[in-house]
Chain A
Amino acid sequence: MSAPREGAPDGAGTAPDPAQGPAEVVDARGLRCPLPVIRLAARAKDLAGGTEVSVVSTDPAAQHDVPAWARMRGHETVAVTKVSGDWTITVRLRRSDT
């Protein structure tokens, strides 16, 4: 697993903007733990392996819990960024074994 890219400075992040809607973004802003992880997992269930999916969260616990979830599920965390109070964590989904 490659190390996640971390700590882009405020305003200079490469995080997808949920309003512009690139590939797959789960908007979990305003939700508290464990809901951001639950919403992300629910979306991930319907996506193909190898897809990159981001979750945007205002809950600081998400920066720890999304990578922990990814590790437990065999997904790969590719980016953790914070832009003005919003955490964006992007994971690449594990390719199906079957």
Chain B
Amino acid sequence: MESSPPARVHLDNGGRAPWHPLAREAFLQALDDGWADPRRLHAEGRRAARLVDGSREAVAAVLGVRTEEVRFTHSHTTALHRAITAGTTARRRRGHRIVVGATERAAVLHAADSAGERETVPADRLGRADAGVFGEAVSRAGVALAALQHANGEVGTVQPIERVHEAARAAGVPLLVDAGASLGHVRVPETWDLLAADPADWGGPAGVGVLAARGHVRLPGTGPEDPEPWAPGGVSVPAAFAAAVALEAVQADLAAADARRRELVDRIRARVADVPDVEVVGDPDVRLPHVVTFSFLYVDGEALVTELDRHGFAVGSGSACTASTLEPSHVLAAMGVLTHGNVRIALDRTTSAEDVGRFLAVLPQAVAKVRETLGVRGL
């Protein structure tokens, strides 16, 4: 036993976390009970439909809305695409401008570019949109839709969605809130008209998303006709059921998981700041409990991710050289912080203090090694 290599520590859980054990159980149960097409009228079909309806009801209860206001989609990305495309189409007589935050997910920015004319509200050094500036942008003529994330999944910063929703409501503009990084980790305020959330982020399956739309928001079909335009052909019943069960499970001890992970992130932030030439970014306080990111000066992000992986630690990165693109994370760029040498961490609910301790013991030497390889000394 003593000779076995240490277990892998997975610290890259944003948008794709290990399944909650109850999600796995629910999925297996639904393979038996929910394999049929929920649109058919026979007993098997009705049984599958009951699983989907129950799942919608469970998600609706967490969001504080009515069951019929919640739909499952094929993914978080398709939920965002549909909210923006249909939300803009519904209001085309009012205009075609779409006001978004600079740190929104790429899916939001691209959908806005495709559906109308995107107006981007800048972010400050912490990654936060100014509520006053956002509110002014929303209040001008010709705005079809506004989109502001609840919290940023790369840097953790929570956005002022309450104040922005107030301004949007006063202007009669629907607000889409991307809760893809926050639902299942923190309480999500009810200040939205459209909301998208990501089961794979809270320990449910990938391949299913959540789109909630309040009763007053019209979402016309924008593609070929289908009885379920938000998910043409219907969603996977086991995936939807497992997503809902996972959400109920993580909501049950939300406060405890928040406190535990918030403390671990505080520890990471404090220890990482001791490494020479590092910027720990994002709001240190008004943030997601489990997300932290930092950038090391004179460090190649790809080399650092590889070096940490060699030591058994999986981390994310927003550096350009780690993606298939030359462009670094648009979130880090919008914040005006260092984009190279970036490490992005999202703790799972199962991440232990020991995991974090081992990571923090290895990190400084991994950084030093990459700097040495690049010949950085005394700069």
Contact = CB atoms under 8 A, between A and B. Distances in A.
Contacts of A50: none
- Report the contact-size class of chain A (Cβ under 8 Å from the partner): 10 to 19
A37 B319 contact: no
B320 A38 contact: no
Interface stretch (A6-14, A17-25, A65-73): A65-73
Given A34-B374, A64-B328, A45 B379 contact: yes
Given A35-B374, A37-B297, A72-B277, A65 B339 contact: yes
A42 B375 CA distance: 11
B22 interface: no
Contact of A33 (B279, B336, B339, B376): B339
**Main SS of chain B's interface residues?**
loop
Interface residues of B, number: 27
Given A34-B298, A34-B300, A37-B297, A65 B379 contact: no
Contacts, number: 70
A41 B375 CA distance: 12
Contacts of B328: 33, 60-61, 64-65
B25 interface: no
Contact of B338 (A32, A42, A69): A69
A37 B279 contact: no
B323 to A, nearest CB: 11
B333 to A, nearest CB: 5
Interface of A: 32-35, 37-38, 41-42, 45, 59-61, 64-65, 67-69, 71-72
Interface of B: 277, 279, 295, 297-301, 319-321, 326-328, 332-333, 336-341, 374-376, 378-379
